[in-house]
Structure 1
Amino acid sequence: MKLSLVLALALLGAVSAHQLDAGALEQEIPDEEGEEESGEPKTPCPKESETFRMVVPGTGGHNYSYVFVSRSQTFNSAQHLCSHCYHGRLASIHSHAVNQQLHRTVRARTNRRDVWLGGKASKGVFFKRTHWMDHSIWNYSNWAPGYPASFRTRCVSMCTANGQWRCLKCGNRLPFVCKY
């Protein structure tokens, strides 16, 4: 009896895993797992001197809190710090006004060319796929000409010179913006 139960459970697991692999376009790795697998050490929360907090008015009377972190991190490390230290995610942007406010802030606070936002983009043969890491809808974009252009998954950054978005390799180390 035990052997048949174990065999049945094993078969169910194999079918479920196969169905997930066949239907998934992209598999997200939880922040903690991604950090351990990438070999990057867990970093302490940024010091107050490395951050700038702001509140930006959103649509429908909602205000959103953001923190700009000047400490350069890979995309996955930045996402982990946003979650662990600020109980948020890398920033999603849903309007031109918010994009302008964040752009003014990051331009004044770093001399780096780009900062991480919370988006990922990929381009397939017939479509472009973009999504925010906080799972909010993708209802606004401010792409620089030619972006997103990669056939591989790339992470979304904001150019500090003009506020336009680009796709960069996720392993690049950049300052970042968290939304919480």
Structure 2
Amino acid sequence: MKLIILDRDGVINQDSDAYIKNPQEWTPIESSLQAIAKLSRAGYRVFVATNQSGLARGLFDIETLNAIHQKMTSAVQAEGGHIEAVLFCPHGPDDDCPCRKPKPGLYEEISQRTQQSLKDVPIVGDSLRDIEAAIRVQAKPILVRTGKGEKELGKLQAQYPQVPVYKDLFSVTEALIEQHKANK
């Protein structure tokens, strides 16, 4: 079975410099839910890996984060899709946590859970740290222009010019499905 790993904020839902602190602030990016549904129908196991330092900062608690993720997974299910699991790092940027991207701990946990190598697995993010973590596990990093992606584009192209860039998650989904058909 095929895997894909998605960042949350800026890839699936609108991002906020003030953090997504409750379910009411969680708003999907246009067509992202349909993209996940399309990936599910195409046989992808969809995982979400997200830094959530708002927990360490005291901006929300674990129950609130779970409610946000429940809203997200329910919205995806309403479109006919499925998210296999949501993994998150609750630590702040100064905690030196091995699961906080750009470190690859969240991705390594997905590899262990699925008992599958992440080599060439698509990992979609909107920031340089998503891309760097993906490279560390030999995955196939992909940047979207949504969220912080447009702002990160210059740094990405200077450091990692080989990383493909797409308008949004739906564009990524269509490209992956087309590539898979072409490789059959």
- Higher helix share goes to which structure? 2
- Higher strand share goes to which structure? 1
Normalising by structure 1, what TM-score?
Answer: 0.28
Whichever of the two has the greater Rg, that structure is 1
Normalising by structure 2, what TM-score?
Answer: 0.28
